[in-house]
Amino acid sequence: MSLVTLTTPLGPESAAALRAGDAVSLSGVIHTARDTAHRRLVELLDAGEPLPFDPIGSVIYYCGPSPAAPGRIIGASGPTTAYRMDAFAPRLYEAGVVATIGKGKRSAEVKAAIVRTGSVYLAALGGAGALLSLTVKDMAVIAWPELGPEAIHRLVVENFPAVVAVDAAGRDLYDEGVAAYARA
C-alpha cells in the first residue's frame, strides 16, 4: 500500500496507476450526487443533454451533506452506501467519470464497467462525515437545489482521504480483505 496524491480532473493514467488498497489524498473539484441526482444525470445522458458538470475526468462523491453550522462551509459530509448508485454508475463511467467515492461493495456490473472504462472506485470512511468536511474548502449547489442535501454540490477539497476499493484492473479490496481474513 502506498499514499498517492491526486488532483482533479483525473486522467486515465491516474486511474491506471492506482492499486486496490492504495491510500489516496485527493484535491481539486469533486461533485456530490446520490440516488435521485444519479437518476436525473442518466436521464440527461439518455436524452443527449449536457450534464451540469463536465464528466470527463470527474469524480463523483456519493454524499448528501448536512447543513453547515454558522461560520462553516459545509456540514457533515460522509459517504453514503455505494450500491444504491449501482444501476447508474456504469453509464456515468462510460460518460467519462474516472472515479466515484462511497462506502461498501459494488456489484459485478459496476466492477465490469470500472475495468471497461479504466476507472476506479474509492472508499471513504463511513461515520467520519464531520472530519471529512474539514477537507472541503469551497462548496456550491450547481444543480437541482430542490433536492436539498441530494442536490449536486461542487466541492473543492484539499487532501480528502480515501482508499482504492476497486482498481482499474478489477481488483476489489473488499473481496481481497475477506479472503486474507479467511486465510488467517
Question: According to the model, what pLDDT value does residue 176 have?
Answer: 83
Question: According to the model, what pLDDT value does residue 76 have?
Answer: 95
Question: According to the model, what pLDDT value does residue 178 have?
Answer: 72
Residues of the chain with pLDDT under 50: none
Question: According to the model, what pLDDT value does residue 96 have?
Answer: 98
User: All domains of the chain, ordered by start, with CATH?
Assistant: 3-183 (3.20.130.10)
Question: According to the model, what pLDDT value does residue 1 have?
Answer: 61
Question: According to the model, what pLDDT value does residue 161 have?
Answer: 98
Cα 115 to Cα 111: distance, rounded to the nearest angstrom: 6
